[in-house]
Amino acid sequence: MDDLKPWWTSKAIWTGLIGSAWGVAGALGLLPEGLSQADVLTVVLAITGIGGVVFRKTAKARIG
């Protein structure tokens, strides 16, 4: 039987949440001054997309 871990210990979940928070901040115009929405969102989407895949691949336990 697989070990289960709480959702809040999942790096993949946190990567998705952080990426979503930046997306919402960009949509609401709440980004730090000097950063363009397009540039920030492009970088955040790239990092969170890659991070989500890597973290999910290296996970040792299922989220329960």
pLDDT tens digits for range 21-57: 888 888 888 888 887 878 887 888 888 888 888 887 8
E strand residue ranges, the chain:
4-5, 62-63
Residue-level pLDDT at 48: 83
| pTM score above 0.85 | no
Residues of the domain holding 17: 4-63
Question: Do 2 and 61 contact (CB within 8 A), yes or no?
Answer: yes
Give the contacts of 14 (CB within 8 A, at least 6 positions apart): 8
Give the contacts of 13 (CB within 8 A, at least 6 positions apart): 7, 63
Residue-level pLDDT at 9: 87
E strand or H helix at 16: helix 11-27
Number of domain units in the chain:
1
